[in-house]
Amino acid sequence: MRKVLFLLLVIGSSFSQSWAHEFYFAYAELAYNEMNQKFEGTLIFTTHDLEKALEPKGSLIGKLEKSDERSTLRTQLESYINQHFHIRYGCALDSNAYDVVCYTQFTLEGISPALNGTIECYISAPAKLIYLPTHLGLAYSTFLEVHFGALFETFSGQQNKLTLIYRNQKETLNFIPGKETQTLFLKP
């Protein structure tokens, strides 16, 4: 009887390994709100993949979706997002002239766990006057250098996708290991 139970345990554990998903994806949809001068959007992760990235030992599995706004886990998540998802752009700090290169600093506005095992992270970041000077003679007036390396350090098969909406323009970028940063040129 013990041999049968042991055999069932071994077979059951091998099946559980075969059920692990082979591909890893994260999605982001981000829009630039010119009226509020900020980026606003949603990042979508598989919840247990994100929890494993936040704590590789697995102690967070199942805790993220139960956390509240004051939780240190939310602070840790916001920090993780800012380390692995950011935008560099030309901006104006104190005038209508291109002054410096700025970087986004996203605020985690909230999260929403879904029944399908994903979690939506609602984010926003101020971004004053994104543009390049027109005297450079470029066919575009704005560039955004986007870095989206979330989960790459944890899953070698990770792929990320970003859809960015700016004015009447909608662009989609794909990010894979080795290509975590891409430049997007926006037309005026």
Give the angle 42-48-49 at the CA atoms, nearest 5°: 70
pLDDT at residue 96 in the model: 60
pLDDT in tens, 65-115: 888 777 888 999 999 999 999 999 877 666 665 667 889 999 999 999 999
Q: Which two tokens stand for residue 52?
A: 């494993």
pLDDT in tens, 133-155: 555 555 445 789 999 999 999 99
Q: Residue 184 gets which letter from DSSP?
A: E
Highest mean pLDDT (candidates 21-30, 82-91, 172-181): 172-181
pLDDT at residue 7 in the model: 47
Neighbours of 119 (CB within 10 A): 20
pLDDT at residue 6 in the model: 46
The band of 14, judged by pLDDT with boundaries at 50, 70 and 90, is: very low
6-15, 34-43, 86-95, 150-159: the lowest-pLDDT one: 6-15
At 147, phi and psi to the nearest 5?
-115, 125
Instruction: Report, in angstroms and rounded to the nearest whole number, the Rg of the chain calculated over CA atoms.
Output: 20
Of the candidates 150, 19, 136, 39, which has an alpha carbon nearest to the alpha carbon of residue 88?
39
The band of 123, judged by pLDDT with boundaries at 50, 70 and 90, is: very high
CA 60 to chain centre: 19
Task: Please give the model's pTM, rounded to 2 decimal places.
Answer: 0.81
- Between CA 151 and CA 149 the distance in angstroms is 6
Average pLDDT in the chain: 82
- Between CA 61 and CA 52 the distance in angstroms is 7
Q: Which two tokens stand for residue 70?
A: 């004051």
Domain limits, the chain: 24-186
